[in-house]
């Protein structure tokens, strides 16, 4: 059953992505949410409505936790099939750059991370997998990245954590090979999955974290809470996604 | 004469770029320079030797200032034709990511910024122009980016300037729409030229700055010294490359 769901979701995501790219000519409207740099566009909303509608056809009886609120009204447990949906990740990049944004989904089954999808929208590359079957970039299986330490890693840390020096993360940044900021959890998760980044540290909402978490854990990478509260699938978390060694190096420095 | 030089340099750069991409399978060696994150590879050196050799054929009598020292031994004035060469910009990205690096050249004629080239290596996009003829991405003329202010701009600031809060740049970062770090002057210059970034601030050596400066000024963008010493083509500078409005907003905040 999961295999059928998987293939249908991949097709659906590619279709939604093509629709998204057609809107890059500017035929959308932008509104602010919590602040002037927290944007939502009509494309975020259209994508979410479309994805949620299709998921209910592909996986009847599922529940959906999605960013813009078109999913189920309350999802406060992980019983059965729960989809976590980010219909457009990196909205600021989408609006200002027409590049460097993604679409992300994850399926949890009775609390177990099961399937996940991260679409690199402009490059039309779909990273997907889970459930013990490995992780793929389109049709090509990814190998586990080399287990490099912090000193030999490029690391992405979100800007607010660096500017406010949360959890001594400026010390982490100084001890890495280099610091990068792409402005999209999708792009940064892909960086860690492919080994382009040794670590990504950010405060992430469920839809920013769940898909990358499923794929990272499937590849044997570390996904850990930095503030020691453990990771909750249904709330915000200060987390690292990293190689085992870089992850441990970061935890040693953020104590 | 310049037109002939221009076309030959474009062809030469595309050839050198194809050779560079063939080495992405890892057939190169890496050494450190000033620190463990300041790398040079055999590709930097091969590219520079090849570019310098070809420039002497294309533009006989020119002098060459190039990063790895295969150019003229001393270039301390800008008389005649002076080429400034970065044979591989973003070497750390080249080594760790196999992506997000470039090749850059600029021609100054009697001190006048005249022609420049920035190759986005992996995407094989050549940004080039100058001398009043406009700026092109391959064959397509770029329009001047919208004159947005800091508040509406994504800005790239190099990590050391942020981590050490040089010239109050963390204040600049907080007042922008968002902060980005790509780790390559070539990539960040292209961001400003295309309007994906409203500003780029960094401490840059001649080969990091000259090509972007020529193209940015050709598009009517601001290129200014932050530390008020004025810009010297032959030495390191703390500079901004930005829209007029974002540039002024940054200067107002770094006083």
| Final residue of a structural domain among B141, B160, B177 | B141
B163 touches chain A (CB under 8 A): yes
Same domain assignment for residues A51 and A133: yes
Same domain assignment for residues B156 and B225: yes
Same domain assignment for residues A43 and A117: yes
Same domain assignment for residues B62 and B91: yes
| Final residue of a structural domain among A93, A108, A141 | A141
| Interface with chain A: mutation pick from B34, B123, B154, B156, highest number of A CBs within 10 Å | B154
B170 touches chain A (CB under 8 A): yes
Cβ pair A69, B150 in contact under 8 A? no
- Distance, in Å, from the CA atom of A126 to the CA atom of A17, rounded to the nearest integer, reads 10
pLDDT digits (tens, 9 = 90+) for A17-67: 999 999 887 778 888 888 877 778 888 899 999 999 999 999 999 999 988
B179 touches chain A (CB under 8 A): yes
pLDDT recorded at residue B211 = 97
pLDDT digits (tens, 9 = 90+) for A88-126: 999 999 999 999 999 999 999 999 999 999 999 999 999
Shortest Cα–Cα distance, A69 to chain B (Å): 24
Residue A218 banded pLDDT, cuts 50, 70, 90: very high
CATH number at residue A99: 3.30.540.10
Q: Which residue has 């990504």 as its token pair?
A: A200
pLDDT digits (tens, 9 = 90+) for B90-138: 999 999 999 999 999 999 999 999 999 999 999 999 999 999 999 999 9
**B179, pLDDT greater than 90:** yes
Angle between helices A42-58 and A2-22 (to 10 degrees): 160
Torsion angle defined by CA atoms of residues B55, B60, B63 and B69, in that order, rounded to the nearest 10 degrees: 40
Same domain assignment for residues B198 and B91: no
Burial profile A206-242: b = 16 or more Cβ within 10 angstroms, e = fewer = bbbbbbbbbbbbbbebbbbebeeeeeebbeebbbbbb
Residue A204 banded pLDDT, cuts 50, 70, 90: very high
Overall domain count for chain B: 2
pLDDT digits (tens, 9 = 90+) for A225-250: 998 778 888 888 999 999 999 999 99
Q: Which candidate from B93, B97, B179 shows the least CB-CB separation from A181?
A: B179
Cβ pair B104, B90 in contact under 8 A? no
Same domain assignment for residues A108 and A185: no
Cβ pair A168, A46 in contact under 8 A? no
Q: What are phi and psi of A192, to 5 degrees?
A: -75, -40
CB contact under 8 A, A159 and B170: no
pLDDT recorded at residue A72 = 84
- Distance, in Å, from the CA atom of A187 to the CA atom of A101, rounded to the nearest integer, reads 7
**A80, pLDDT greater than 90:** yes
Region A161-186: mean pLDDT is: 97
β-bridge partners, A64 = A83
User: In the A/B pair of chains, how many CB contacts fall below 8 A?
Assistant: 67
Same domain assignment for residues A117 and A168: no
CATH number at residue B236: 3.40.190.80
Report, in this order, helix, strand and coil percent for chain B, each rounded to 5: 40, 25, 35
- Distance, in Å, from the CA atom of B149 to the CA atom of B243, rounded to the nearest integer, reads 7
A180 touches chain B (CB under 8 A): yes
Same domain assignment for residues A78 and A172: no
Same domain assignment for residues A126 and A21: yes
Report, in this order, helix, strand and coil percent for chain A, each rounded to 5: 40, 25, 35
Same domain assignment for residues A98 and A28: yes
**A253, pLDDT greater than 90:** yes
Residue A134 banded pLDDT, cuts 50, 70, 90: very high
CB contact under 8 A, B97 and A196: yes
| Interface with chain B: mutation pick from A34, A178, A198, highest number of B CBs within 10 Å | A178
Residue B31 banded pLDDT, cuts 50, 70, 90: confident
Same domain assignment for residues B14 and B136: yes
Cβ pair B221, B244 in contact under 8 A? yes
Low-confidence winner among A144-158, B194-208, B230-244 (lowest mean pLDDT): B230-244
Region A83-91: mean pLDDT is: 94
Same domain assignment for residues A123 and A228: no
Complex prediction ipTM: 0.94
| Final residue of a structural domain among B90, B112, B141 | B141
User: Listing from the earlier edge strand, what are the strands of the sheet with A63-66?
Assistant: A63-66, A81-89, A102-109, A112-120, A125-129, A135-137, A140-141
Q: Which candidate from A97, A99, A178 shows the least CB-CB separation from B159?
A: A178
Domain range for A123: 2-141
Structure tokens at B129: 């122009």
Chain A residues inside the 8 Å CB shell of B98: 196
């Amino acid at each position: 059953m999961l295999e059928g769901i998987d293939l249908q979701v991949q097709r659906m995501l590619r279709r939604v992505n093509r629709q998204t790219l057609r809107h890059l000519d500017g035929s959308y409207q932008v509104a602010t949410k919590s602040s002037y740099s927290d944007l939502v566009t009509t494309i975020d909303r259209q994508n979410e409505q479309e994805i949620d509608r299709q998921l209910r056809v592909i996986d009847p009886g599922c529940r959906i936790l999605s960013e813009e609120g078109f999913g189920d009204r309350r999802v406060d447990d992980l019983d059965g099939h729960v989809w976590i949906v980010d219909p457009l990740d990196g909205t600021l990049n989408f609006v200002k750059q027409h590049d460097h944004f993604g679409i992300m989904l994850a399926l949890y089954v009775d609390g177990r991370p099961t399937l996940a999808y991260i679409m690199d929208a402009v490059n039309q590359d779909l990273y997907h997998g889970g459930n013990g079957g490995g992780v793929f970039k389109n049709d090509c299986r990814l190998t586990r990245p080399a287990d490099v330490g912090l000193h030999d890693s490029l690391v992405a840390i979100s800007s607010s954590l660096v500017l406010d020096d949360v959890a001594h993360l400026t010390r982490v940044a100084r001890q890495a090979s280099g610091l990068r900021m792409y402005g999209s959890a999708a792009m940064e998760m892909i960086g860690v999955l492919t080994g382009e980044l040794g670590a990504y540290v950010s405060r992430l909402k469920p839809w920013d974290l769940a898909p990358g978490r499923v794929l990272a854990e499937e590849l044997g990478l570390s996904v850990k809470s930095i503030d020691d509260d453990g990771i909750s699938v249904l709330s915000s978390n200060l987390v690292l996604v990293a190689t085992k060694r870089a992850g441990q190096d970061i935890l040693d420095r953020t104590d």
